[in-house]
Amino acid sequence: MRIAFLSAVYTPEREPAAVMAAQLVGRWIQEGHTVDVYCPFPNRPEGIVRRGWKRRLRQRDALGHLRVIRCWHWLVGRHRRIWNRLLENLTFGCSAAAQALLAGKPDVLVISTWPFFAVGLAILLGRLWGVPAIYYIQDLYPEAAVDAGVLPRNHWTTRLLTRLDRWFCRSSARVIVSRKA
């Protein structure tokens, strides 16, 4: 089976979500699947592209049944302002969806939760192709943003994002919730 996996973080990032993503991809490959990973250029936690990496429109690396496609996106920067985070999210979503479209139809799409706009675009891409889109939730958004004080609890943007997330869940073939220890 050919799996397209959109993830906001992936190795060599050291965040737990990146480690979990790499483990999941490793398992799929071990089971004999071909995997295309669509992810940003490494930039965490500083919000700037890591030393040793060159930011491009895309970068493709292949090893056996694994292809990692690094997609261009807006960088948050050191100050991590809300508008920069939204631009990062939106540009990664558009870039990853465009790169996946160029790569062609997979058998299944697996979408990691955090790139909020990427989730919606990938679900629409799955519908276009007629393939199942699996929504892999690691953090609850916008709830996590509210708890962190980034979004106000009863603000119109929070309500809109909550409705969008419900649509993502209802529109996905499956919803998988990751439980962190």
Which residues, other chains included, contact 93 with Cβ-Cβ below 8 Å and sequence gap of 6+? 115, 116, 117, 118, 119, 120, 121, 122
pLDDT tens string 53-101? 888 888 999 999 999 999 998 888 877 777 787 888 889 999 999 999 9
Q: pLDDT at position 108, please?
A: 97
The answer to whether residues 175 and 135 touch, using CB atoms and an 8 Å cutoff, is yes
| 103 vs 101: CA distance, rounded Å | 5
Can you give the pLDDT at residue 40? 93
What's the predicted TM-score (pTM) here?
Answer: 0.89
* Residue 34, H or E segment: strand 34-40
Is the separation of the CB atoms in 73 and 40 below 8 Å?
yes
Nearest alpha carbon to residue 133 among 35, 5, 1:
5
Cβ distance 43 to 75 under 8 Å? yes
Residue 150: predicted pLDDT: 79
List 40's β-bridge partners, or say none.
Answer: 71
Q: What is the mean pLDDT of residues 164-176?
A: 90
Portion of the chain with pLDDT greater than 90, in percent = 51
Percent of the chain residues topping a pLDDT of 70: 96
Show Cβ contacts of residue 16 under 8 Å, excluding neighbours closer than 6 positions: 180
Report DSSP state, residue 18.
Answer: H
pLDDT tens digits, 136-167: 987 777 888 888 887 889 999 889 888 988 88
Query: What is the average per-residue pLDDT within 111-136?
Result: 88
pLDDT band, residue 179 (cuts 50/70/90)? low
| Structural element, H or E, at residue 95 | helix 82-103
